[in-house]
């Protein structure tokens, strides 16, 4: 059963960790800082960099979750937390909410800086779905990492890997394969939204499939390491 009291307690604990971690706060500012630079350098074309800025914001959410879980492991509190009365669902939902909160704040700031003409509803939908997917990847990295430094290194390498599609757009096969990855799907969708197109049910389904896949992988690692309740 889901316990809102436990989810709220975990959410508050994780949010406090983020606010008191200078490394995470500096990392989180990367997207908005780039948005400001692009908007000042060439205001007329600032929107063209929206995909890159949002990618940085999603990756900030991913790295934050990875470092948060790795920190719990370093302090030997993760096993205590998981083997207590906190269910895997409570744990999953709390860190999804934390990552979505972070990416939502970063994307809203970036939205204002870039002066986007995209409808706010579509923008928020992409942010929530992208943030949820990013949280699952971050949680996986956090579980398999020994400490925060390891999580940060692995997460950074993963971030560069997820940026690969930006440099492989000329390769039709690579473009087709990467188009199913949530970051690339959102990046492409942003340009469609700028051209006046909406978000289709099929595209939402692809993003939900990303979340489901990464959640299953997380649960697999979670159980493999003997952390299930």
Q: Is 123 contained in some domain?
A: yes
**Residue 153 structural domain:** 4-224
The span from the CA of 197 to the CA of 191, in Å, is 9
Q: Average pLDDT, whole number, for the chain?
A: 82
Judge whether 138 lies within some domain: yes
Q: What is the mean pLDDT of residues 186-196?
A: 82
Q: Does position 228 have pLDDT exceeding 50, yes or no?
A: no
The count of domains in the chain is 1
Q: Element (H or E) spanning 54, and its range?
A: helix 50-74
User: What is the rounded distance in angstroms from the CA atom of residue 228 to the CA atom of residue 225?
Assistant: 8
Three-state SS at 171:
coil
- DSSP 8-state symbol, 200: -
Note whether residue 229 is domain-resident.
Answer: no
The residue that leads in pLDDT, 74 or 84, is 74
Whole-Å CA distances, 210 to 102, 205, 225: 19, 9, 23
Q: For residue 45, is it within any domain?
A: yes
Q: pTM for the full model?
A: 0.84
């Amino acid at each position: 059963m889901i316990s809102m009291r436990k989810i709220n307690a975990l959410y508050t604990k994780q949010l406090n960790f983020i606010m008191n971690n200078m490394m995470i706060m500096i990392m989180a500012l990367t997207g908005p800082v780039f948005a400001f630079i692009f908007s000042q350098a060439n205001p007329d074309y600032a929107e063209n960099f929206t995909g890159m800025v949002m990618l940085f914001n999603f990756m900030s959410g991913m790295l934050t979750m990875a470092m948060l879980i790795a920190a719990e492991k370093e302090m030997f509190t993760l096993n205590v937390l998981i083997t207590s009365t906190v269910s895997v669902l409570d744990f999953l939902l709390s860190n999804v909410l934390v990552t979505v909160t972070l990416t939502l704040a970063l994307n809203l700031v970036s939205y204002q800086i870039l002066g986007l003409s995209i409808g706010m509803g579509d923008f928020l939908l992409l942010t929530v779905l992208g943030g949820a997917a990013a949280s699952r990847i971050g949680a996986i990295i956090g579980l398999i990492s020994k400490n925060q430094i390891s999580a940060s290194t692995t997460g950074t390498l993963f971030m560069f890997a997820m940026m690969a599609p930006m440099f492989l757009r000329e390769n039709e096969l690579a473009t087709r394969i990467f188009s199913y990855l949530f970051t690339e799907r959102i990046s492409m969708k942003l340009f469609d939204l700028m051209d006046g197109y909406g978000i289709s049910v099929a595209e939402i389904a692809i993003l939900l499939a990303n979340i489901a896949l990464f959640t299953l992988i997380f649960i697999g690692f979670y159980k493999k390491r003997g952390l299930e309740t």
